[in-house]
Structure formats: C-alpha cells, structure tokens
Chains A and B, each alone.
Chain A
Amino acid sequence: MSKKMIERFSPAVRVAHWMYAISFITLAITGYMLFGTKLDWMAPMFGGIEGAMVVHRVAGVFLIAAIVLPLLMRPKDVFAWLGESIKITSADIGFLKTFPHKLLGIKKEIPPQGFYNGGEKINSLIQVVSGLVLITTGLIMWLSGPGTIAPLLHATFFVIATCGAIGHIYLALLNPVSNESINAMLHGKVSEKYMIENHGQWYNDVYKAEKN
C-alpha cells in the first residue's frame, strides 16, 4: 500500500478545533475547582479558586470565540460539519456496534464510514448540545447571577461534556486502532490506507467521482 497522504482537515478547521480544545480544557480544570475538591491543589496556579473563576470567564470568552469566529469566517465548513454530524446512518449504527472492540484496540470489520464515523458524530453532537447549554447557562450566571437552575444544568452538562472529551482524547491519542487520526488534526493529513480502512464510504465517493 502506498504511503500516499490525504488531506482531511483544512487549517481553518484545525485552528478552530484547537482553540476550542484549549479553552475547553482550561474551563474544565478551573470549573472543576468549584464542582469538586480533587483539583484544588492546582488552585495556586490561578491565584486561588477566586482567581480560577476569573480564568474560567476569560477562557469562556475564548471558547465562545472558537465558535463564533468560524461561524463568521467559515460558515460553510461549520455547517458541513454540523450537517454531517446530525445525519446518523445505518453505517454509523454498525460502527457503534463494533465500538467496544475498537475501544479495546481490537480491529473489527466496520461498515464503510463517511467523512465522519459514527463515533465522531456522537462526539460532535455531545459537544454541540452540551456546549450550547454550558454557554447559555454560563452567560446567565455571569450576567444575571446564578439563580436556582443554571448552576445545576451547568454542572450536569459539564460532566457529560467532560466524559465525552476524555473518551475523545483517549481515542485520538492513546488507542492504537484510532490514534493515527490525530495526524489529521495536527498536520491536516492522514495516510490513504487509514482513510480506506476507516472512512471507506467517503473515500469511494470522493475518488470514484474523481475517476469519472
């Protein structure tokens, strides 16, 4: 098999992804200091928990920017991603059925996937939904005081988004079956072999069209 590389993510997408990722991790760490006590040892880094709350708000602005800027500058890319993500096909269901094996690093035959596989779609949807709730409740708490419901929702969706993010980071960095995909987010390119194996449907669509 040739070592041909295939363009997967444009620089704009990668910048948006990493802006969101860095803001998200900062928000999760500083936010957790109010949620629980396990990370309180990190508080001095931010100037105490009070300081962490300030960092939390600044990071929140960056996270909103990581959504608003792509929406303004690359609306097509954003809507293409959203449109793909909400289209759950039978191939995605098939992918999710083999997901436990993938999680444990066991290669299994998967139905040919589109540009995003079933897992990536679920991850996108988790982030979109919890991101919307977190930003809305966060802004409410910031601008008009906590109230009785916003902190509850903020905390609930923090848990959902964080668990999703942990899974996402594991699959992208540590899981030997899928960690090749990190290159797509770092350099924009992935080997042709990986695309054929993991995104067969997309590969066929694009390259059949090219041949014709």
Chain B
Amino acid sequence: MNTQTLAPHESMELHEALNFKTLCLAKSKLMQGLVFDQELKALMQKDVIQSAQQIAELQAIYARAPFQAPVPNSPTPITH
C-alpha cells in the first residue's frame, strides 16, 4: 500500500498542504527578524523547526503523486 501511487485528489490535497506549510515556514522565519517579544520569537522558531519536519514528511509522500517528476538538485526554483 505504501508504495502505491496516490489518487489525483489526494495528490492535490498534498500539493496544497505542502505549499501552505512552505509559506508558513517562510513567514515564521522572516518575521523573527521583525518581532520585539523574545517569547513570540522563540515560538516562531519552534514553528520553523516543526514545519521543516512536516515538510520533509509531506515531501516523502508527495513523491508518490501520479504526476511526480525528477527534481533538480539546485535549490533555485524553475522560473522559466
């Protein structure tokens, strides 16, 4: 079961979950440079660490999407 290809609708949910989580990670990371309260900053850093872990787990399962394709090693996204 675990190596089976995902259904299209599940893949779409994972696409949305992954992108939402990616944006949350980016915001929690960037906003740490703007907050004054150190407790709020610490909670945002906890969110960064937790989000990175969740993104890794989402990516592992998203790899079974029917439209999966080889991803280049470069961290720079494809913009063209």
A and B: interacting chains: no
